[in-house]
Amino acid sequence: MPKIPLVMPQLGESIAEAIIVSFHVKTGDAVTADQEIIEVETNKATMGVTTPCKGIVAELVAKVGESYPVGSTLGFLEVSEADAVSCGFFQTTPQRDDSPASAPSAESQEAPAPTSAKPAALDAKKSHFDSPAENILPDYNLAQPNQVRPTVRGLPVPMTAKGASYLSPRMKVRMQELGLHAADLAGLAGSGAGGRVTVEDFEKFLYDLETKKISPASSMRVAVADAMRRSWTRPLATVGRLVNLDPLLAHRKAQKTKPGPALYALRALALALGEDSAPAGRLIGGKIVHPSAIDIGFAVEAEDGVLVPVLRGADKMPLKTLLPRYDELVELARQRRLPKEASGSSIATVTNFGTFGIIWATPIPLPEQTLVLGLGVGSKQPYWDDVAGAFIPVTQAELTLSFDHRVLDGGGAGRLLARVAELMQTPESL
């Protein structure tokens, strides 16, 4: 029976590799088409690798706990030729045309084709099924797979440290070998000219680390660190204002299935950006690129990090329609099993940091986003009512908007935030 490879699939945008978590099958097991047989972990979620068609597991060459790039061969499946054809791994040879018009010329007969050229169609008995395994896909070195190397973090910062302001080419090469970034040397004082960090300073720094307690960073922690490092290359700013939560809380209390405050804020932001999408645009060169759809993400705390599921077309669906999908994605995010269609490519994020008792915060937009809306904890505050001529208690919370200052100024951010707060006062319209 022919063998076809089990390949590490493309598990999402910007995902280049994944770590093998476990195998659900063993050599010799019979499997069906689209059966999940391998569990893998990316820097965003835990996902499954499925079979291209039914067959028998011939070999599993990947190892648990190691990382493999997209396209790597993880194993092999024995299948029938009919199933191989249906999966697109095999093509039959087209019928030969023996007409005079198709006969090769004398010139073409005298000049044989180069040996490296591949025929357009393969003979059934000389297909790639008979080739060695390493010729089926590009030659990835399974003996030395790429390893996810966590960055070193949580170091004490000396009072007099200025940080690594200049890195020589030699230093950069050494840091790349160790998987470190310039930010990891922010607390390292240099002994060179002008406070320059020398290679000797760096090696002493590494030696000193061996005396400290060190724990490995998870792949998600490293991914979050990398995203925040890239986000911080832009000029970011934050504005804020108070929002009255009483109308929202009254509306929520009357609902059979109760939306969370973050979903109200998300829907209000989606409607505001649906009216004017320019604040969510991205500055590319000298132009503002407007979003093609109002896809809004929301932050969910997962194990050792934060995931951002995405509600597509949030301006087109009312609150009651968004609620079931929102609840489903929250649960999937906590399990780190977000589907591809609910990950990435959003234009803004909503984060409810009030769930941790935080009043005010300055969250950072993701690298591909311009905006992040934050909601603080609600509390009873005295509010002057002009009609009653007295102070009355209202539930208020801080609403913040962090933004890319290259795209948006304080005035534009303030107007957008005011519109979001206004929409949250009429929750029945959301």
Residue the block writes with tokens 């005079």: 100
Using one digit for the tens of pLDDT, what is the confidence trace for 207-247? 888 887 878 777 777 778 878 888 888 899 999 999 999 99
- pLDDT band at 416, cuts 50/70/90? very high
Look at residue 380 and tell me whether its pLDDT is greater than 70: yes
- pLDDT band at 99, cuts 50/70/90? very low
The CATH fold of domain 235-429: Chloramphenicol Acetyltransferase (3.30.559)
How far apart are alpha carbons 62 and 234 in whole angstroms? 40
How far apart are alpha carbons 394 and 245 in whole angstroms? 8
- The confidence score (pLDDT) of residue 112 equals 45
Percent of the chain with pLDDT over 70: 79
- The confidence score (pLDDT) of residue 165 equals 54
- pLDDT band at 114, cuts 50/70/90? very low
Pairwise pLDDT comparison (344 vs 168), residue with the higher score: 344
Using one digit for the tens of pLDDT, what is the confidence trace for 9-19? 877 655 778 88
Handedness of CA 398, 402, 408, 410 (dihedral sign): positive
CB 18 within 8 A of CB 67: yes
- HEC string of the chain? CCEEEEECCCCCCCCCEEEEEEECCCCCCEECCCCEEEEEECCCCEEEEECCCCEEEEEECCCCCCEEECCCEEEEEECCHHHHHHCCCCCCCCCCCCCHHHCCCHHHHHCCCCCCCCCCCCCHHHCHHHCCHHHCCCCCCCCCCCCCCCCCCCCCCCCCCCCCCCCCHHHHHHHHHHCCCHHHHCCCCCCCHHHCCCHHHHHHHHHHHCCCCCCCCCHHHHHHHHHHHHHCCCCEEEEEEEEECHHHHHHHHCCCCCCCHHHHHHHHHHHHHHHCCHHHCEEECCEEECCCCCCEEECEEECCEEECEEECCCCCCCHHHHHHHHHHHHHHHHCCCCCHHHECCCCEEEECHHHHCCCCCCCCCCCCCCEEEEECCCEEEEEEECCCCEEEEEEEEEEEEEEECCCCCHHHHHHHHHHHHHHHCCHHHC
- The confidence score (pLDDT) of residue 373 equals 95
Look at residue 111 and tell me whether its pLDDT is greater than 60: no
Q: Average pLDDT, stretch 145-157? A: 38
CB 220 within 8 A of CB 304: yes
How many C-beta atoms lie closer than 10 Å to residue 203's C-beta? Answer: 11
Provide the β-strand partners of residue 302: 305
Least confident span in 12-16, 392-396, 403-407: 12-16
Nearest to 306 by CA among 348, 327, 334, 326: 334
CB 20 within 8 A of CB 64: yes
User: What tokens does 124 get?
Assistant: 């059934």
- The confidence score (pLDDT) of residue 183 equals 72
The CATH fold of domain 3-96+123-135: OB fold (Dihydrolipoamide Acetyltransferase, E2P) (2.40.50)
Residue the block writes with tokens 């108070």: 242
Q: Average pLDDT, stretch 32-55? A: 85
- pLDDT band at 178, cuts 50/70/90? confident
- The confidence score (pLDDT) of residue 425 equals 93
How many C-beta atoms lie closer than 10 Å to residue 69's C-beta? Answer: 14
Pairwise pLDDT comparison (349 vs 223), residue with the higher score: 349
What lies within 8 Å, CB to CB, of 384 at 6+ separation is 390, 391
- The confidence score (pLDDT) of residue 204 equals 83
How far apart are alpha carbons 402 and 330 in whole angstroms? 23
- The confidence score (pLDDT) of residue 423 equals 95
Q: Average pLDDT, stretch 56-76? A: 89
Domain with CATH 2.40.50.100 in the chain: 3-96+123-135
Residue 299 Cα to chain centre, angstroms: 12
Provide the β-strand partners of residue 30: 56
Pairwise pLDDT comparison (98 vs 322), residue with the higher score: 322
Is the entire prediction scored with pTM above 0.75? Answer: no
Look at residue 177 and tell me whether its pLDDT is greater than 60: yes
Provide the β-strand partners of residue 49: 38
- pLDDT band at 67, cuts 50/70/90? confident
Domain with CATH 3.30.559.10 in the chain: 235-429
How far apart are alpha carbons 48 and 42 in whole angstroms? 10
